């Protein structure tokens, strides 16, 4: 007892790129079509129907083949670009690893050189002494207050 | 007809057999295709994940241990990146060198332009030996063991590792990142700096004391690795950078440390002493500027790890330096004043115990300042007649005797101070002149620094910027008492101006000599020491010098042996830190009457 599906469709053609002589009155009118969808097209498969619709759609456009080609080219370019970017990314990743490795080597070299420098600096006092240099000892300033060490302290010198 | 029939039946049979074989092959191909389709279409993701998981491994990124610096930022200890060279004996056994030709280019093996001349482990060893500076036979032996992992060399430099990388032994020889602790100053303060163990943990000295600060937190990175263990770029999935350890800056000045050590070494040589040590403390901040001894332990060596700095590890009776504590207590408790008069013989008997001075003399008219100046044991026993045992103990404790210092150095001995209840008739009097208890050089330095700090004792520190400067300040004696004792100590320094004078500066000193146990267990050893504040009128530094078993034709007293070393160090300090010269002394307390 199910009711047949209904659909309302305009009878005007969407194919504006290819106008044809109208036998019917040009004024659009709506009419009720009974038994649409599967009921109307039981003899065609879904692929055929899809293809038919696609072809139908392309006929409604001014230059459908060009647009499809453009879309395909665009998609292909996207895919190619993506592939290129990915390849470049991997290439850059290799380059980054190489640079990082170089930085690591340079850091190690700096560390070693700094260590050598520290060792040389540490050995400076000993080397200076070996060359006969002596650290400054004794008073090296001028006593402007007339300081004199007590004389009697020396005479009292003794040991516990 | 029969021949044609036979031929036809043979053709039919051949066709059937061929068809059968063909069908079997098609079936196998179909199965293989089916499996491939199943793997690619249905099981592809899990297979890829499993493969990626197999290649993905976590790698630890070692954190660098922090540096140890002196107060001027000069490096005393630092870590450098090094590599452990690892061999794969199994892979080495199958090594076949590629002789160099025009076609191979640089992808070949040669030793100084000559063919390797051997396969297997021997060939690897021949290639590797020059880079590692090892014997090829020894190296070949190491590579000829079963297994896939053998350590060929430890802590080689990055330069060596890079030269190994160029040998074309990938897959056979690998390198693991390691580190090496280096000490540019070697033996300048070996036991003080200490060392680390193989795991990088500090096990002695500053390395142990500041291990927590110096140790960083390891990081990691998770990435897919290639067949030879190399990172496949762009495959890092997780990463945490390591946090390197923090630097530790000491209050020790490398220049002062070097000079003090030189002075100790020359003094030790001059007086034929077993060893010598010295402490230099800044009285205004209580920071240790030098903690030197004559030991030649290389920092990081086993000796440096098992021995501690003598300044904290060696304990000894302070001898006459202990008189400063007793006199401080007597003045603070108002038992005596510094100008109190005594007639002091060279020996005295109290409770059937005889006490003698270090030298013979007739009965002298000395004040308490004179007793300190002449370092009279008899005078101290006489002065201590009304000074209770508990007070003697209390003041020793207040000055820090018998307690570990705040430095926290590993191996520090807190000395020995027993309670007054355990003192016998002799000990209760010997503690008055620095015998019957033991201390170390750090404690002794802080005793005198307390007097220099106007009677206030504060924690010492050897770590710069740790916030311990002038921490835990405790008033031990009144400012006036400290000044009076320092006045008496100035008289001591004036007495020894011929041996321990710091030209242009007033010095407050005390000398000490004590018998200590020798290797046989008897009291055959001698400790000669000297502690001084300089300048006395505006204290900047306290310097302690201690010698063990000095020998001199003039005697072994601290004034003769340790005194000149003190003066030498004092002159250097005054010159280095440009301390203004002292005005003449005008307030000397009489030492005789």
What contacts A81, CB < 8 A, 6 or more positions away?
none
With H, G, I as helix, E, B as strand and everything else as coil, classify residue B548.
Answer: strand
Residue B466 has pLDDT above 70, yes or no: no
Local mean pLDDT, 10-residue blocks, chain A (160 residues): 43 44 54 53 71 70 72 88 86 85 91 91 87 72 60 51
With H, G, I as helix, E, B as strand and everything else as coil, classify residue A122.
Answer: helix
Between chains, do B497 and A149 touch, taking CB under 8 Å as contact?
Answer: yes
Q: How far is A87 from chain B (nearest CA, A)?
A: 11
What Rg value do the Cα atoms of chain B yield, rounded? Answer: 39
Q: Which of B157, B496, B581 sits opposite A112 (nearest CB)?
A: B157
What contacts A113, CB < 8 A, 6 or more positions away?
none
**pLDDT at position A142, please?**
55
Between chains, do B494 and A156 touch, taking CB under 8 Å as contact?
Answer: yes
B466-476 average pLDDT score: 72
Top residue of B433, B504, B535, B588 to mutate, by most chain A CBs within 10 Å, is B504
**pLDDT at position A15, please?**
45
Between chains, do B358 and A135 touch, taking CB under 8 Å as contact?
Answer: no
Lowest model confidence (mean pLDDT) among B31-40, B165-174, B375-384, B414-423: B31-40
Residue B518 has pLDDT above 60, yes or no: yes
**pLDDT at position A67, please?**
73
Q: Cα-flanking dihedrals φ and ψ of residue B513, to 5°?
A: -145, 130
B518-542 average pLDDT score: 86
Q: Closest chain A residue to B162 measured between Cα atoms?
A: A105
Chain B residue numbers with beta carbons less than 8 Å from the beta carbon of A137 are 568, 571-572, 575
B61 is written with which tokens? 């990124």
Put simply, the chain A residues between 22 and 81 with a CB less than 8 A from any chain B CB are none
Q: Which of B233, B375, B499 sits opposite A160 (nearest CB)?
A: B375
Alpha-carbon distances, residue B384 vs A38, B16, B391, B394, B425 (angstroms): 126, 130, 10, 14, 13
| Range A34-38, long-range pairs (CB < 8 A, 24+ positions) | A34/A4, A34/A6, A35/A4, A35/A5, A36/A4, A36/A5, A36/A6, A36/A7, A37/A5, A37/A7
How many inter-chain contacts (A to B, CB under 8 Å) are there?
Answer: 115
Q: Smallest Cα–Cα separation from B77: which of B398, B255, B301, B282? A: B301
Alpha-carbon distances, residue B516 vs B95, B166, B526, B575 (angstroms): 67, 63, 6, 35
Alpha-carbon distances, residue B164 vs A111, B93, B113, B227, B250 (angstroms): 20, 18, 16, 19, 39
Chain B residue numbers with beta carbons less than 8 Å from the beta carbon of A89 are 234
Tokens 């063919």, located at residue: B115
Q: Which of A139, A153, A160 sits opposite B503 (nearest CB)?
A: A139
**pLDDT at position A18, please?**
45
Instruction: Kindly provide the residue ranges of all beta strands, DSSP E only, lying in B308-391, ordered along the sequence.
Output: 315-316, 341-344, 347-350, 353-356, 364-367
CB-based contact, A113 to chain B, within 8 Å: no
Lowest model confidence (mean pLDDT) among B236-240, B255-259, B492-496, B522-526: B522-526
Between chains, do B557 and A148 touch, taking CB under 8 Å as contact?
Answer: no
Q: Cα-flanking dihedrals φ and ψ of residue B414, to 5°?
A: -85, 0
Q: Smallest Cα–Cα separation from B544: which of B296, B319, B207, B329? A: B319
Between chains, do A157 and B504 touch, taking CB under 8 Å as contact?
Answer: no
CB-based contact, A137 to chain B, within 8 Å: yes
| Helices vs. strands in chain A: H and E counts, helices first | 3, 2
Q: Which of A115, A135, A143 sits opposite B80 (nearest CB)?
A: A115
What contacts B444, CB < 8 A, 6 or more positions away?
B318, B321, B529, B531, B544
Choose the most confident range, by mean pLDDT, from A122-126, B187-191, B362-366: B362-366
Chain A residue numbers with beta carbons less than 8 Å from the beta carbon of B376 are 160
Q: Closest chain B residue to A89 measured between Cα atoms?
A: B234
Between chains, do A147 and B504 touch, taking CB under 8 Å as contact?
Answer: yes
CA distance B42 to B29: 19
pTM score above 0.80: no
Between chains, do A118 and B499 touch, taking CB under 8 Å as contact?
Answer: no
B29 is written with which tokens? 């191909």
**pLDDT at position B471, please?**
72
B134-148 average pLDDT score: 89
CA distance A92 to A101: 14
Q: Which of B185, B233, B495 sits opposite A158 (nearest CB)?
A: B495
Residue B398 has pLDDT above 70, yes or no: yes
Pairing relationship of beta strands B353-356 and B173-182 according to DSSP bridges: unpaired
Could you tell me how far CA B138 lies from the centroid of its own chain? 35
Could you tell me how far CA B43 lies from the centroid of its own chain? 60
**pLDDT at position B513, please?**
87
Q: Classify the phi-psi angles of B117: left when phi > 0, otherwise alpha if psi is within -120 to 50, otherwise beta.
A: left
Q: How far is B234 from chain A (nearest CA, A)?
A: 6
Output the CA angle B455-B459-B462, nearest 5 degrees: 130
Does B535 sit behind a cis peptide bond, omega within 30 degrees of 0 on the bond before it?
yes
Q: Closest chain A residue to B230 measured between Cα atoms?
A: A97
- Give chain A's length: 160
Could you tell me how far CA B327 lies from the centroid of its own chain? 37
What contacts B522, CB < 8 A, 6 or more positions away?
none
Q: How far is B170 from chain A (nearest CA, A)?
A: 17
Alpha-carbon distances, residue B389 vs B349, B401, B414 (angstroms): 18, 15, 21
CA distance B251 to B327: 32
Residue B88 has pLDDT above 60, yes or no: yes
Chain A residue numbers with beta carbons less than 8 Å from the beta carbon of B488 are none
Residue B487 has pLDDT above 90, yes or no: yes
Chain B residue numbers with beta carbons less than 8 Å from the beta carbon of A143 are 504, 581
**pLDDT at position A151, please?**
65
**pLDDT at position B469, please?**
53
Q: How far is A157 from chain B (nearest CA, A)?
A: 5
Q: Which of B185, B357, B574 sits opposite A122 (nearest CB)?
A: B185
Between chains, do B584 and A140 touch, taking CB under 8 Å as contact?
Answer: no
Confidence at B170, pLDDT banded by 50, 70, 90: confident
DSSP class of residue B322? G
Chain A residue numbers with beta carbons less than 8 Å from the beta carbon of B504 are 139, 141, 143, 147
Q: Around B392, how many Cα atoms within 13 Å sit in the side-chain half-sphere? A: 28
What contacts B392, CB < 8 A, 6 or more positions away?
B326, B329, B384, B420, B428, B431, B432
Q: Smallest Cα–Cα separation from B215: which of B207, B227, B204? A: B207
CA distance B283 to B37: 85
Q: Closest chain A residue to B559 measured between Cα atoms?
A: A159
Pairing relationship of beta strands B364-367 and B341-344 according to DSSP bridges: antiparallel
The terminus-to-terminus CA distance of chain A in angstroms comes to 134
CA distance B446 to B430: 21
Q: How far is B23 from chain A (nearest CA, A)?
A: 35
CB-based contact, A160 to chain B, within 8 Å: yes
What contacts B436, CB < 8 A, 6 or more positions away?
B317, B423, B426, B427, B430
CA distance B404 to B414: 4
Between chains, do B504 and A148 touch, taking CB under 8 Å as contact?
Answer: no
B364 is written with which tokens? 């002298």
Q: Which of A118, A145, A159 sits opposite B583 (nearest CB)?
A: A145
Residue B116 has pLDDT above 90, yes or no: no
**3-state helix/strand/coil string of B382-442:** HHHHHCCHHHHHHHHHHCCCCCCCCCCCCCCCCCECCCHHHCCCCHHHHHHHCCCCEEEHH
Between chains, do B583 and A125 touch, taking CB under 8 Å as contact?
Answer: no
B288 is written with which tokens? 């240790």
Between chains, do A90 and B234 touch, taking CB under 8 Å as contact?
Answer: yes
| Of A4 and B550, more confident | B550
Q: Is the dihedral of CA A77, A80, A82, A85 positive or negative?
A: negative
Between chains, do A93 and B582 touch, taking CB under 8 Å as contact?
Answer: no
Lowest model confidence (mean pLDDT) among A34-43, B57-66, B482-491: A34-43
**pLDDT at position A155, please?**
53
């Amino acid at each position: 007892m199910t009711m047949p599906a209904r659909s309302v469709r305009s009878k005007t053609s969407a194919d504006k790129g290819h106008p044809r002589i109208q036998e019917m009155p040009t004024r659009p009118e709506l009419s009720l079509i009974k038994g649409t969808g599967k009921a109307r097209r039981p003899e065609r498969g879904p692929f055929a129907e899809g293809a038919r619709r696609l072809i139908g759609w392309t006929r409604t456009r001014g230059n459908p083949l060009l647009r499809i080609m453009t879309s395909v080219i665009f998609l292909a370019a996207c895919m190619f670009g993506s592939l290129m970017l990915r390849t470049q990314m991997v290439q850059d990743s290799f380059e980054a690893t190489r640079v990082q490795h170089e930085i690591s080597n340079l850091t190690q070299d700096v560390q070693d050189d700094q260590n050598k420098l520290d060792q040389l600096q540490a050995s400076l006092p000993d080397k200076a002494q070996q060359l006969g240099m002596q650290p400054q000892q004794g008073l090296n300033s001028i006593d402007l207050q007339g300081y004199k060490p007590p004389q009697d302290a020396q005479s009292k010198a003794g040991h516990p | 007809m029969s021949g044609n029939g036979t031929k036809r039946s043979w053709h039919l049979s051949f066709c059937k057999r061929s068809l059968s074989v063909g069908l079997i092959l098609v079936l196998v191909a179909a199965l293989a295709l089916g499996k491939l389709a199943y793997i690619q279409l249905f099981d592809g993701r899990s297979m890829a994940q499993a493969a990626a998981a197999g290649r993905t491994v976590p790698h630890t990124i070692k954190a660098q241990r922090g540096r140890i610096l002196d107060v001027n930022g000069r490096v005393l200890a630092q870590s450098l990146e090094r590599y452990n060279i690892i061999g794969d004996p199994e892979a080495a056994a199958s090594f076949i060198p590629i002789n160099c030709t025009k076609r191979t280019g640089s992808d070949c093996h040669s030793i100084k332009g000559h063919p390797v001349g051997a396969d297997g482990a021997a060939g690897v060893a021949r290639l590797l030996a020059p880079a590692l500076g090892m014997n090829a036979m020894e190296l070949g032996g190491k590579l000829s063991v079963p297994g896939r992992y053998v350590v060929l060399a430890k802590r080689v430099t990055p330069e060596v590792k890079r030269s190994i990388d160029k040998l074309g032994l990938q897959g056979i020889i690998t390198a693991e990142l390691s580190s090496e602790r280096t000490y540019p100053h070697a033996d300048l303060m070996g036991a003080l700096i200490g060392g680390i163990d193989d795991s990088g943990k500090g096990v002695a000295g500053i390395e142990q004391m500041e291990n927590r600060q110096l140790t960083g937190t390891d990081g990691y990175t998770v990435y897919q690795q290639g067949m030879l263990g190399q990172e496949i770029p762009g495959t890092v999935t997780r990463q945490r950078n390591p946090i390197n350890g923090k630097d530790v800056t000491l209050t020790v000045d490398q220049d002062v440390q070097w000079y003090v050590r030189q002075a100790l070494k020359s003094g030790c040589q001059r007086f034929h002493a077993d060893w010598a040590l010295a402490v230099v403390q800044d009285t205004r901040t209580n920071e240790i500027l030098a903690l030197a001894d004559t030991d030649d332990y290389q920092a990081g060596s086993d000796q440096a790890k098992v021995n501690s700095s003598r300044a904290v590890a060696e304990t000894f009776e302070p001898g006459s330096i202990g008189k400063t504590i007793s006199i401080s207590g007597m003045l603070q408790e108002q038992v005596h004043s510094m100008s109190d008069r005594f007639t002091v013989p060279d020996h005295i008997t109290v409770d059937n115990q005889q006490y003698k001075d270090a030298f013979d003399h007739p009965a002298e008219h000395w004040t308490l300042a004179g007793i300190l100046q002449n370092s009279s044991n008899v005078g101290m026993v006489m002065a201590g007649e009304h000074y209770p045992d508990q007070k003697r103990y209390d003041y020793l404790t207040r000055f820090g005797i018998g307690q570990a210092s705040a430095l926290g150095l590993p191996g520090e001995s807190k000395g020995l101070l027993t309670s007054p209840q355990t003192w016998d008739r002799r000990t209760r009097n010997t503690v008055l002149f620095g015998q019957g208890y033991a201390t170390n050089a750090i404690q002794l330095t802080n005793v005198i620094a307390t007097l220099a700090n106007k009677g206030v004792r504060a924690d010492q520190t050897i770590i710069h910027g740790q916030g311990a400067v002038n921490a835990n300040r405790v008033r031990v004696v009144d400012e006036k008492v400290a000044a009076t004792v320092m006045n008496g100590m100035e008289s001591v320094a004036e007495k020894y101006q011929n041996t321990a004078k710091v030209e242009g500066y007033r010095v407050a000193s005390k000398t000490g000599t004590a018998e200590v146990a020798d290797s046989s267990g008897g009291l055959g050893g001698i400790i000669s020491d000297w502690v001084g504040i300089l300048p006395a009128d505006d204290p900047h530094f306290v310097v302690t010098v201690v010698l063990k078993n000095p020998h001199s034709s003039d005697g072994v007293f601290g004034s003769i042996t340790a005194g000149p070393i003190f003066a030498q160090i004092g002159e250097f300090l005054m010159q280095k830190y440009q301390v203004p010269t002292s005005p003449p002394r005008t307030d000397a307390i009489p030492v005789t009457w």
